[in-house]
Structure 1
Amino acid sequence: MRKNISWNLVSKYRTELMGCSILGIILFHWYENCMIHGKSINFILHLFSLGNRFVEVFLILSGMGLYYSFKKQENIKTFYLRRITKLLPTYLILGIPYWIYFDCFLNKMNIGQVFIDISFISFITEGNRRFWFIGLILGLYLFFPIFYKIIYKNVNEWIGVGEILILYFLTTILIWKSSPTVYANIEVAWGRIPCFIVGIVLGKSIFEKKRIGLKTFLGIGIGLLGVFWGLKISEHVLITNIINRSLFGIVLGLIFLLILIIMMNALECFLIYEKFIRKILAFLGNITMEVYILHVAFRSIFDYPAEIGKYMILIGASILIAIPVNRIGKYIVNINRLRR
């Protein structure tokens, strides 16, 4: 166990943190299933409702990881090829058969609907949120080099962050004013973009192995108080949504992230953690995207099961199928590397 906690621990535990993120999302989806079927919500399920904030943890980790990768190899073509071959084949391998089954067989629609759904057009036009997170990640990958250049062209990177966030909030207002329906459809993804931006900035702290000091905790504490105050006084729907989805998301994402790395650092000396828990988290962290897509697909096919036994079977099946799909994805990535 290290007494001095540094941001570099995020890099050290990144795979395990990804595993924690997918577990949090899985537990949140079980809470959501129980809500859909009108089940009584006990204290434990209320805790699971916080699991949706692990999306923010994942986005912060993604921003940090992309900074680290781009810093070592600032080649935009290579960057895009690596990201596309890492995510898109997995999504298409799982998404195409799912949408064909769901649209053409279950709902008797034509093949054109499959294209509309798999391309995320229906997410924007109809609010179809089935795989919204994949669409968000693809979009963030696309714009990452631009974000990176804006942030790090300044002497102080937070000036660049301010420029991006001002543009982001102005664009948010424009979307909301011009089409409230489109905004309502996409806000689950759109509202989380600032978390990714914060992750890019914190990537520098990981790269430079900066210490997590008192200023970090004070900043998060002030941010949390600011969010609560903002939610209390806000009387505008859009402002309330921005505070809750974006600002509260950043604060909670950072709180969860810090709690996890401090816990992992403290538990390293325990054999049960090193030999069992850490390996499970790392295993899940390596198949995060596959498990996410599969369990979301199975939820919709099997009517969002609320019974714990049925839900565990669903998750188990998702993990089992995720393993070979992950291997296929790695094979495609390796082929791309050999061609370069």
Structure 2
Amino acid sequence: MNYSFISIKRQSIMGIGMLLVLAYHYMLHYGVYHSPLIIRGDIGVDLFLIASGLGCFYSLSSKTIKDYFKARLKRIYPTFILLTILFIFLDGIILDSHLSVNQWLLKISGLSYFISGDLSTWYISAILVLYLFSPLLFAFVENLYLLYGLLFIVYLFPCVAALCDISYLNIFIFRMISFILGAVIAYNILRKKEINIVVLLVSLIIWGGVMACGYINIVDYPRNQIRYVFYPLIAFGLIYGIKYIKSDRILGFMGKYSLEIYLIHQPVFRYLSFIENKFYFVALTLIVTCSFAMLVKIIINKLYDWTASGKI
């Protein structure tokens, strides 16, 4: 199977992932619309991670480790820190919600999910850790036996997390599979070698299903997390469907600004939650979120330009 279209459609993959995450949060917090796809819109995170795994493998193949980390942090941290500080202040002013100094530092570090279980920007925490370990993770991709061993071991972690009462980490642990899957796709494209991804996915489903039976037998295991076992297969199916979308301008837009939209949309939802009409709420929050996302990206790019020219 030719996977090169995935690298071409990477921005659209991020875009459909962002749309699904938006739909999921609208449904989860405001009951805007009820359907199986929207209820499971958190599969958009798996699309993010497949695209990120692919992009990171590409980057590591052409850059030094130092340049790789520099590029990854440059993409995430300036935008993340700017918006985190802004929304901490706005939460205090608009919602009368105030954080301690320790909470401030945890938020700004991007590691609040791992340390305190904060789910508000858990994806940022997760992707930063995956960036850190990606050179090691991708070394496993080069060896098929090590790859299968790594993927199977990942499915053991949720059992440990459940027994240690840290099951909130499972939304990250399960998603490591999708990140590694993205790297496998990039490996196939760049090395022109064939790791049969369909066989890989079926193997994961079988092993994941076996482990799911084990999860069910663990006392107080959060059963709704078992769905994550099947997300990589579903996400890959969605990605394959994108191949046949001829006009993807909207998906491209959402993908281009996916980081900014991800960081902005939930605070905007909170600030405008007084709007009772669901249509107006969705329309206005989308307009505000997308407009602000474009503005933030312009500001960050200007700061980069000024820094490069020595004006800052």
TM range, smaller chain: 0.7 to 0.9
**1:80 aligned residue:** 69
**1:162 aligned residue:** 148
- 1:304 shift after superposition: 8.8
Of 296, 302, 315, the residue aligned with 2:272 is 302
Give the direction of change, closer, same or farther, for the CA distance of 1:236–1:118 in structure 2 (3 Å limit): farther
Code of the residue aligned with 2:141 in structure 1: it is I
Give the direction of change, closer, same or farther, for the CA distance of 1:68–1:124 in structure 2 (3 Å limit): closer
Structure 1 residues 50-100: Cα deviation after superposition (integer angstroms, max 9, x where no partner): 321121111011101111121122x11100111111110010111111123
Code of the residue aligned with 1:87 in structure 2: it is I
Which whole-Å CA distance do the structure 2 matches of 1:151 and 1:308 have between them? 46
Give the direction of change, closer, same or farther, for the CA distance of 1:304–1:258 in structure 2 (3 Å limit): farther
What is the alpha-carbon root mean square deviation over aligned residues?
A: 3.2
- 1:21 shift after superposition: 1.3
Matched, 1:129 2:119: yes
Residues 285-296 of structure 1: pairs in structure 2 closer than 5 A = 285-296=255-266
- Sequence identity percentage: 20
Matched, 1:19 2:15: yes
What secondary structure is seen at the aligned counterpart in 1 of 2:216?
Answer: coil
Residues 144-223 of structure 1: pairs in structure 2 closer than 5 A = 144-152=134-142, 157-165=143-151, 167-169=153-155, 171-177=157-163, 179-180=164-165, 183-208=166-191, 216-217=197-198, 220=201
**1:325 aligned residue:** 296
Matched, 1:28 2:24: yes
Which whole-Å CA distance do the structure 2 matches of 1:138 and 1:335 have between them? 26
| Greater relative contact order (CA < 8 Å, ≥ 6 in sequence) | 1
Which whole-Å CA distance do the structure 2 matches of 1:304 and 1:221 have between them? 46
Give the direction of change, closer, same or farther, for the CA distance of 1:334–1:164 in structure 2 (3 Å limit): farther
Which whole-Å CA distance do the structure 1 matches of 2:204 and 2:67 have between them? 37
Which whole-Å CA distance do the structure 2 matches of 1:30 and 1:95 have between them? 21
Verify the 8 A CA contact 2:157 2:173 in the aligned structure 1: no
Give the direction of change, closer, same or farther, for the CA distance of 1:100–1:189 in structure 2 (3 Å limit): farther
Verify the 8 A CA contact 1:127 1:185 in the aligned structure 2: yes
Q: Which runs of 5+ in 1 are unaligned?
A: 268-272
- 1:22 shift after superposition: 0.8
Give the direction of change, closer, same or farther, for the CA distance of 1:80–1:226 in structure 2 (3 Å limit): closer
Code of the residue aligned with 1:136 in structure 2: it is A
Code of the residue aligned with 1:309 in structure 2: it is Y
Give the direction of change, closer, same or farther, for the CA distance of 1:163–1:305 in structure 2 (3 Å limit): farther
Verify the 8 A CA contact 1:299 1:305 in the aligned structure 2: no
Give the direction of change, closer, same or farther, for the CA distance of 1:111–1:14 in structure 2 (3 Å limit): same
Of 79, 87, 90, the residue aligned with 1:90 is 79
Code of the residue aligned with 1:258 in structure 2: it is Y
Q: How many residues align?
A: 306
Verify the 8 A CA contact 1:56 1:195 in the aligned structure 2: yes
Which whole-Å CA distance do the structure 1 matches of 2:105 and 2:274 have between them? 24
Verify the 8 A CA contact 1:15 1:285 in the aligned structure 2: yes
Verify the 8 A CA contact 1:8 1:210 in the aligned structure 2: no
Residues 32-71 of structure 1: pairs in structure 2 closer than 5 A = 32-35=28-31, 42=34, 45-71=35-61
- 1:190 shift after superposition: 2.6
Give the direction of change, closer, same or farther, for the CA distance of 1:86–1:219 in structure 2 (3 Å limit): closer
Code of the residue aligned with 1:78 in structure 2: it is D
TM-score, with length taken from structure 1: 0.77
Give the direction of change, closer, same or farther, for the CA distance of 1:119–1:233 in structure 2 (3 Å limit): closer
What secondary structure is seen at the aligned counterpart in 2 of 1:106?
Answer: coil
Give the direction of change, closer, same or farther, for the CA distance of 1:110–1:146 in structure 2 (3 Å limit): same
- 1:301 shift after superposition: 3.3
TM-score, with length taken from structure 2: 0.83
**1:279 aligned residue:** 249
Of 65, 85, 108, the residue aligned with 1:118 is 108
Verify the 8 A CA contact 2:171 2:225 in the aligned structure 1: no
Q: Which runs of 5+ in 2 are unaligned?
A: none
- 1:189 shift after superposition: 2.1
**1:10 aligned residue:** 6
Give the direction of change, closer, same or farther, for the CA distance of 1:302–1:185 in structure 2 (3 Å limit): farther
Code of the residue aligned with 1:116 in structure 2: it is L
Which whole-Å CA distance do the structure 1 matches of 2:308 and 2:144 have between them? 35
Give the direction of change, closer, same or farther, for the CA distance of 1:52–1:24 in structure 2 (3 Å limit): same
Which whole-Å CA distance do the structure 1 matches of 2:172 and 2:266 have between them? 16
